Structure 1
């Protein structure tokens, strides 16, 4: 039986963790578990208390690198999955289980990951995605904390645009979650490393994260001095950059807001919703982010593949801009009554949504999958990694989520030889959509096939009514509620954006590698294509 004394003792352990007294908290947790083991009748209250202790041990392991605490916390959760999921709820359990599993990741530095060790991160990411999918009814603070941990997992797999989006969404809520600010700064530092670009504004945003974390009421006292030290270091870097570039504080918050206010409603939508294809726009909504100016050759790169890959990137940007604009037009419809009246539908009382508005999202969904498949083709062409066909030769039809086939022949070893942060990120994204890899978004592929080759019905009600049995004859019709379809398209367009960034970083990495190898090259200066509004 769970007594009041046991509950008070468990609460005291959590207070020790909050105060940063991790060693004592661990010692008392071990003693507490010995008392729990003596309880014979294990009801819901028992597993509630056990789950709290396990979560505390996981926190101790994370915050103080305490291996024994981390291992014990994970073991308790792993051995009691069903019972803990029942008393905590699936979202809370998978959140806690993901935190426990994160302590077991064998490689600390993301740049040391291989195409073998990345599988640990893929499994962790899948667990956080699962928790995220079940979290819609949870409290705002819990959703925010889950978003931060999901973002941390994505950041460790170099999916930086997605990670930064989740940090920003969390920080906008005004909650005191210092981990979100600190890890946002870490993501911006990582962005500098893998993109080979930086700005003074980027340094200021990194500093901003440490400033907000340093004043948090939820950090152990000893962490404040560390954050203040990082702030001082970044201040020195900013001063040196200003001196070297002759730049003033032109990107102060007030000016950035003025520039943002001057943008069109559509561009504001792109920036607010993290839908730009601009490296600067990933962290700053100023006028420099007003265009999708992502290119591969923004810094010195070498290779005869650069211009063909820039051609591919142009194609991705063009298609993405259409998908994004269709999304915007669906969410903020204009007066299109004349167009709508051009097409008349029979009233079949089957709840299906028809017409130009829903077709915009259906089309945008297909466009995003097309972009991902084209990225897969580019990887195969650039690195000559077309997968083998079952009947010999090489596969001709390439699909982003499945072409990798790392366990076939020596392909994992081959991919290890061409590894880069961008390529690892693309593999991570592909596993989201791959059922065989436990991808939590693998059903998107089924939806895409339904849109392309079968019948996919988007309907308004919780369950599609069918008064005249119009759906009776055709088999395998997919039925999706409208708000669910829109929600998941919002997720798909984000991972497509992430894939485009990762593609550019991957090719840029390859171009810089060849530059370091002193391969002879001829300079070819590229310019942005300009569009004039003047009539010809």
Structure 2
């Protein structure tokens, strides 16, 4: 491969050259040339690039790593760890970051669809639907997103252990698959695959039933207005711990239905996992409501009256409302380590309980350089894989890879809230942004980051329930001297929650 000098080229010329290198490498099925092309791309200085050019640069790099996967692994595999997928996700997300203020909707839709497909592949099925929906909010007729959303819903349904919910998923999967076949932007091979899967669904359910979309009543009718407003907000933002909320936003899904499935226990064994899941779920829904309250109340609360605070002229703001946002952030972030504690016991990983955290739990002796724990690497539990990949969205100083560009900042925010000095401001003084004794952040930006953590913790809890179902399905075969814990046993009446 001849030497290429990009130093004198404009950003547009550089992108044209890189795009050409990546595409010809793919067409030639030439991994060596593709690897060299990626090295050239990594040497590019982006200082002169406009935001849109940076977005295209990272989009091209994400595509390049997808080509590496296709060449290296022609057959689909189920490896838990994949450097190529890590890089793909990280680059696509970086590209989206530079497109926030740009109206290039086609590229946005391409990236969001690619991310949806990737997340579905790695087991992050809940967030895969988020990416497809974000794309379709931009362009409701983006055929590849519609079809791939149908593919994602079909695979999502495999993990759902409530038959009626599973059927509804299949209904909407088929609808999306068939709708995409009518779209002109769907290429032939994809159209054939979508149509084939739709017909496969029809072998399991009658077409008459699949076409019968139920009309649901208004479950908000008997509720007070403030509760209706809250439940509508949760449903529309897909925040209920209920798989149906990933398909529908109507009142029928406005509940936190998902629980731990039936589990096997030795006689007289304490139901610790139901109790642990109960607590995790309660912490999430409490954090969710606190966050909702913080967004819906900008009036001065009586508890803040007559509290003497000094006006330091730095645009700082203080209120009970903001403290609720901070509490919600902290509660949701803490859920991840508590899930790792749960997994350590449930999967019998045998790590020292006081040392486990969500980023390390997957590895031998909690160290990445010692490789994946054999129990993890030997599992084909798709939801467990989803949780593993979700952990890569969080920052740990001993891990050099994060697939979430905001991971380090989110961890820093948590650290400053918990242990140092953190304040929310109405607007920034640019001369103060480098100060390290106090972390300053704009109110709206902090609310956005809290919402991100809230969504992430919801996904984690849902994957935890699904992985238990998969594990229990395997353990059910070895049920000697054990009893099944009935679902009714863990169903607590609302009037007891006082």
TM-score scaled to structure 2, two decimals?
A: 0.83
Which runs of 5 or more structure 2 residues have no equivalent in the other structure?
none
Q: Decide whether the 8 Å contact of 1:94 with 1:127 is kept in 2.
A: yes
Q: Decide whether the 8 Å contact of 2:15 with 2:57 is kept in 1.
A: no
Q: How many residues align?
A: 474
Q: CA deviation at 1:355?
A: 0.7
Tell me which residue corresponds to 2:65.
Answer: 101
Matched, 1:398 2:360: no
Q: Provide Cα deviations, 1:49-85, integer angstroms capped at 9, x if missing partner.
A: 3244346558xx5xxxx56178756643441335485
SS of equivalent to 2:388: helix
Tell me which residue corresponds to 2:235.
Answer: 271
Superposition pairs for residues 284-323 of structure 1, below 5 Å? Answer: 284-297=248-261, 301-303=263-265, 307-323=271-287
Tell me which residue corresponds to 1:521.
Answer: 482
Q: Provide Cα deviations, 1:179-218, integer angstroms capped at 9, x if missing partner.
A: 2112211221221223345533211211122123112221
Matched, 1:438 2:404: no
Tell me which residue corresponds to 1:172.
Answer: 137
Tell me which residue corresponds to 2:97.
Answer: 133
Q: Provide Cα deviations, 1:402-434, integer angstroms capped at 9, x if missing partner.
A: 344353556533432355222222221222213
Q: CA deviation at 1:125?
A: 2.2
Tell me which residue corresponds to 1:22.
Answer: none
Q: Out of 466, 477, 481, which is 2:438 matched to? A: 477
Report the Cα distance in structure 2 between the residues aligned to 1:329 and 1:416, rounded to whole angstroms.
42
Report the Cα distance in structure 2 between the residues aligned to 1:367 and 1:54, rounded to whole angstroms.
47
Q: Decide whether the 8 Å contact of 2:147 with 2:176 is kept in 1.
A: yes
Q: CA deviation at 1:365?
A: 0.7
SS of equivalent to 1:331: helix
SS of equivalent to 1:195: coil
Q: Out of 420, 442, 450, which is 1:489 matched to? A: 450
Tell me which residue corresponds to 1:460.
Answer: 426
Tell me which residue corresponds to 1:332.
Answer: 296
Tell me which residue corresponds to 1:145.
Answer: 110
Q: Decide whether the 8 Å contact of 1:277 with 1:497 is kept in 2.
A: yes
Q: Decide whether the 8 Å contact of 2:146 with 2:176 is kept in 1.
A: yes
Q: Provide Cα deviations, 1:446-495, integer angstroms capped at 9, x if missing partner.
A: 211111111012212133788xxxx99x9632222222212222211111
Report the Cα distance in structure 1 between the residues aligned to 2:123 and 2:452, rounded to whole angstroms.
17
Max Rg structure: 1
Report the Cα distance in structure 2 between the residues aligned to 1:326 and 1:358, rounded to whole angstroms.
10
Matched, 1:426 2:387: yes
Superposition pairs for residues 55-454 of structure 1, below 5 Å? Answer: 56-57=23-24, 61=26, 68=29, 75-83=36-44, 85=46, 87=49, 89-105=53-69, 106-107=72-73, 112-115=77-80, 117-139=81-103, 141=105, 142-198=107-163, 199-221=166-188, 223-239=190-206, 242=209, 249=212, 251-252=213-214, 255-256=215-216, 264-297=228-261, 301-303=263-265, 307-333=271-297, 337-341=301-305, 343-387=307-351, 394=352, 396-404=354-362, 405-407=366-368, 409=370, 411-418=372-379, 420-435=381-396, 436-439=399-402, 440=405, 441-454=407-420
SS of equivalent to 2:204: helix
Which runs of 5 or more structure 1 residues have no equivalent in the other structure?
1-32, 388-393
SS of equivalent to 1:139: coil
Say if 1:208 and 1:56 are closer, same or farther in 2 by CA, change over 3 A: farther
Q: CA deviation at 1:237?
A: 3.3
Q: Decide whether the 8 Å contact of 1:256 with 1:285 is kept in 2.
A: no
Report the Cα distance in structure 2 between the residues aligned to 1:222 and 1:344, rounded to whole angstroms.
68
Q: How large is the Cα RMSD of the aligned pairs? A: 3.6
Matched, 1:505 2:471: no
Q: Decide whether the 8 Å contact of 2:314 with 2:429 is kept in 1.
A: no
SS of equivalent to 2:264: coil
Report the Cα distance in structure 2 between the residues aligned to 1:109 and 1:325, rounded to whole angstroms.
45
Q: CA deviation at 1:360?
A: 1.2
SS of equivalent to 1:237: coil
Higher relative contact order (CA 8 A, sep 6+): 2
SS of equivalent to 2:368: coil
Say if 1:152 and 1:165 are closer, same or farther in 2 by CA, change over 3 A: same
Report the Cα distance in structure 2 between the residues aligned to 1:277 and 1:510, rounded to whole angstroms.
20
Q: Provide Cα deviations, 1:312-362, integer angstroms capped at 9, x if missing partner.
A: 111111111111112212222275543442534221212112111111111
Report the Cα distance in structure 1 between the residues aligned to 2:287 and 2:211, rounded to whole angstroms.
38
Report the Cα distance in structure 2 between the residues aligned to 1:520 and 1:108, rounded to whole angstroms.
45
Report the Cα distance in structure 1 between the residues aligned to 2:6 and 2:53, rounded to whole angstroms.
23
TM-score scaled to structure 1, two decimals?
A: 0.78
Q: CA deviation at 1:529?
A: 1.4
